[in-house]
Amino acid sequence: MSQEQQRQVLEKLRCGEANMLIATSIAEEGLT
């Protein structure tokens, strides 16, 4: 993910829109 994509996802998390997306992204980054 680019920094811009990460920023957008974090903004969605703050709005309560992307809880699962965040968890998936963190897991994916941890595995690669």
- Mean per-residue pLDDT for 1-30? 71
Predicted local confidence at residue 22, as pLDDT:
59
- Alpha carbons within 13 angstroms on the beta-carbon side of residue 4 total 0
Q: Which two tokens stand for residue 4?
A: 């811009």
Question: What is the residue extent of each domain of the chain?
Answer: 1-32
Predicted local confidence at residue 2, as pLDDT:
87
pLDDT(16) > 60:
yes
What is the reported pTM? Answer: 0.43
User: What is the C-alpha separation between 32 and 14, in angstroms, rounded?
Assistant: 25
